[in-house]
Structure formats: C-alpha cells, structure tokens
Structure 1
Amino acid sequence: MSLYRFARSVVGAILKPLYRIEIVGKENVPKTGAVIICSNHISNLDPPVVGITCPRDIYFMAKEELFQNKMLGGLLLRINAFPIKRGMKDRNALRQGLAVLQEGNTLGLFPEGTRSKTGEVGEGLAGAGFFALRSEAEIVPCAIIGPYQKLKSLKVVYGKPIKMDDLRENKASAKEVTELIMSEIRELIEKSK
C-alpha cells in the first residue's frame, strides 16, 4: 500500500465520522485518464477532505511555505503534493501540474487560490483554466458544503465533467474557462443545499 493510500485511510477514519461527511456524485469522477478536480476552498481541511472522498489518488498543489519545514515538506511530497509560489506565475509548478495530467493522473485545484473568509465562492484565478486548456483532462467541479463543525453534516458533491470541446476549439481564455468552472461550483452548492 502506498503512503498516499495509507494516509487516506487513516485520515478518512478520523474525518468521516467527525464531520459526518456525505459524498454525492463520486461516480461523476472518470475512472481513468487525466482529471482535474476543481473545488471551492472554505477550510485548511479541504485538501484532505477532497483526498478522502475522491475515488482517485489526487496530486495537489500546496503553498510553498508548507514545504519550508523539512519534515512536513518531505511528507507532503510523499503524499502527492507539490509546491506552488502564490501571487506570481510559477512556471515550475505549472510544468509539474501538466506532467501529472500528461501521465493520466488526477490534479486537485482550489481555483480561488486561498480560503474564502465568508464561506461564499470567490473569484477563481486563471490557473485552473490554464490546466483545462493545456491538457485533454476531464474537468470535474466539486463543492464542499460546510461548515466544518464536529458531528454536524459536511457534504462533498462531485458534479458531472464540464464540456470543454467548444471552449478548446474556440480558443477561450484561461480566465473565461475558470469563470465557467467557478459558476459550475456555485451551481452545485445551490442545488445541494
């Protein structure tokens, strides 16, 4: 068993009963091929929660600061996370994300780039659109519907993959694609309340 799978089972055994996590639509995540999971971001617990509810192993981008602690950084690398410099174009992280997708793996993104302080879905950064346009990946919107309160219900909803053919053909901008992804996440939240 890989460290990722071991960590997922341990973290799942703790978080699933603690937050009474309900998973909806995980059948919408394609079983094979490159996939980008795009989720809203309401808590530091979002990456592990998406990790334990998604049926695929996920590679997450994580803020570079987390890798400055050697022990934590080493662990993150071993459970499929890689660093990204926030607030600037990080070519290395972009290349690494594309490599994950070219290998037919799953990339997990929080397009807002940072946690929402209000719980409302904010504006997405163009990075999600960049990966969607530069790869053949299926884009799956994901909504985490909180709040994170012990023994209260937390819902994680996976939507159907977003149709990308027309956007790719019409050379949509990364920003336009990200806006579409964010609107799909908002719609999932509205429909699932």
Structure 2
Amino acid sequence: MKKIKKAISHFFYKTLIIIVRFLLKITWGYKVEGKENIPSRSFILVANHVSILDPIVIGAAFDKRLFYLAKKELFKSKIFNPFLRWLGAIDVDRKDFKYETWKKINKLIKENEIIVIFPEGTRNDHPEMGLLELKDGAASLALTHGLPILPVGIKGTEKIWRRKKFFPQVKGRIKIRIGKIIEIPKVRRPSKEDIKEVNEKIKANLMELLK
C-alpha cells in the first residue's frame, strides 16, 4: 500500500513540476543553466534566498523531488502545513534542533535524496549588498556525512515577489544558475574552523553564480 501511495504521490509531483515549469517560462522567461553539473548521487543543495518563490523555482529546475529544511514558523498555517510537507519540506527549530529532525535527515541521506538548505537562514531583503552571514547547518551536515554540496544561484525573484507583497509582479525574469559540485570530506566532529572553511567555499561559489 505504501508503494502505491508513493507512486501516486510521485506521479502528481512530476505533473505539478511540468506545469510549474511551463507557467514560470511563459510568465517570467524562466531559464536554467548548468543542469549538466547535477550529480546522480546524494548531495546538499545550497542557494541564496531572496523571495518566497525560491523553493518553487529551484524545485522546477530538477527532475527529482527535493527535500527542503525550513523554519518551523512556516508550518503554523493549517492550510499550508500539509502542502509544504507534501512538497518535501522538513520543519526545523533553529533554536532547538531536535533528534527527530536528525532522524528524518539521516533517512533521506540513506535513501540518496537531495536536501535543500538556504544557508543565509532567512530571506535577504538587500541582495545588492551581498549574501547574509551564512549559518552553520549546511556546512556541518555536509562535513558530518561527507556529502558534496551543489551551489545554485537564483536571480530575479527578489524583484518579482518581495517580502510583505501579497501577489507577485508579472514583470521580470528568473534565471537559475547551477554551479559545479563542491567535494566535502567526512569529518566525524567538525570544528569551527572546518565549518568556516566550507562556508567560505559556499559563499565564494554562490557569489560567482550571482554575477
């Protein structure tokens, strides 16, 4: 029964992605570069975060379902909670990272799934000033499991759907640039220096993609 439910869910997800891609393309000239850089193995996807549209435009760029680590506040709505979970979002308490969350993440890694993290931790309202200070989550997770990191740059969504705006603007262009994979060594207990070094690599790669 679980296999049947999973197959049905997968079918509807794939159908939704095709529809979303079409709508993004005809509305905002949606364009994706660097798909040849996507590895077939499990990895952590990191991207800049400037709009509520970002998870949607990233998801549309990949044929495989993505799993997003998202702050728990987004799950308070009874309407959006089931939709977010169906899309693959996992609620994270940034002040108290619970064991249950680690279990979900470890299960995804064992199943060779793709985990998406916005290392800035929140939407950047002033991307013209550069990236916000990166949080430790993505670097720490990659080091602990020896997972490679795939950097993705998002351009255009910050002008289309700004914070506190109820509806997106029709004018604008969206461009996704997928960078080359960053190999990360497995470190059982990453030090602050280890995490800092990985974050510097993430930041440098994202900044290059956003040029």
TM tier, smaller = 0.7 to 0.9
With over 3 angstroms needed to count, the CA separation of the structure-2 counterparts of 1:60 and 1:160, relative to structure 1, is same
Residue 203 of structure 2 aligns with which residue? 182
Q: How far does the alpha carbon of each residue in 1:74-101 deviate from its partner, in whole angstroms, 9 at most, with x for none?
A: 1221221111123443443333223212
Runs of 4+ deviating beyond 4 Å: 167-172
Name the residue aligned to 1:139. Answer: 149
Superposition deviation, residue 151 in structure 1: 4.1
- 1:19 counterpart = 2:31: no
Aligned to 1:71: 79
In structure 2, runs of 5+ residues without a counterpart are 1-7, 161-169
Distance 1:168 1:161 in 2: 18
Q: Distance in 1 between matches of 2:125 and 2:159?
A: 13
> In structure 2, the residue corresponding to 1:74 is in which secondary structure?
helix
What is the 5 A alignment of 1:52-131?
52-119=60-127, 120-131=130-141
Amino acid across the alignment from 1:72: F
TM-score by length of 1: 0.86
Aligned to 1:10: 19
User: 1:170 and 1:187 mapped to 2: Cα distance?
Assistant: 29
- 1:33-63 alpha-carbon deviations (Å, 9 max, x no partner): 2111100001010001100012332101122
SS in structure 1 opposite 2:79?
Answer: helix
Answer yes or no: is the 8 Å Cα contact 2:146–2:187 preserved in 1. no
User: What is the rounded CA distance, in whole Å, between the counterparts of 2:63 and 2:172 in structure 1?
Assistant: 23
| 1:41 maps to 2:49 | yes
Identity among equivalent pairs (%): 29
**Structure 1 unaligned runs (5+)?**
none
Instruction: From the CA coordinates, give the structure whose radius of gyration is larger.
Output: 2
CA deviations on 1:6-46 (whole Å, 9 max, x unpaired) are 3322322322322211101011111x221111000010100
- Per the TM alignment, residue 184 of structure 1 is displaced from its structure 2 partner at its CA by 1.1
Q: Distance in 2 between matches of 1:79 and 1:145?
A: 22
Q: Separation in 2 of the partners of 1:159 and 1:85?
A: 29
Q: Distance in 2 between matches of 1:90 and 1:124?
A: 21
For the Cα contact (< 8 Å) 1:29–1:55, is it kept in 2?
no
- Aligned AA (2:34): G
Residue type matched to 2:15 in 1? Answer: F
Per-residue deviation, residues 158-177 of structure 1 (Å, max 9, x unmatched): 10101223x75995522332
Cα distance between partner residues in 1 of 2:179 and 2:18: 24
Q: CA 1:87/1:175 → structure 2, altered by over 3 Å: closer, same or farther?
A: farther
TM-score normalized by the length of structure 2: 0.79
CA-atom RMSD in angstroms: 2.3
What letter corresponds to residue 34 of structure 1 in structure 2? S
Residues 1:51 and 2:54 are matched in the alignment: no
Match of 1:28 among 37, 51, 68: 37
Amino acid paired to 1:145:
K
Q: Does the 8 Å contact 2:43/2:150 carry over to 1? A: yes
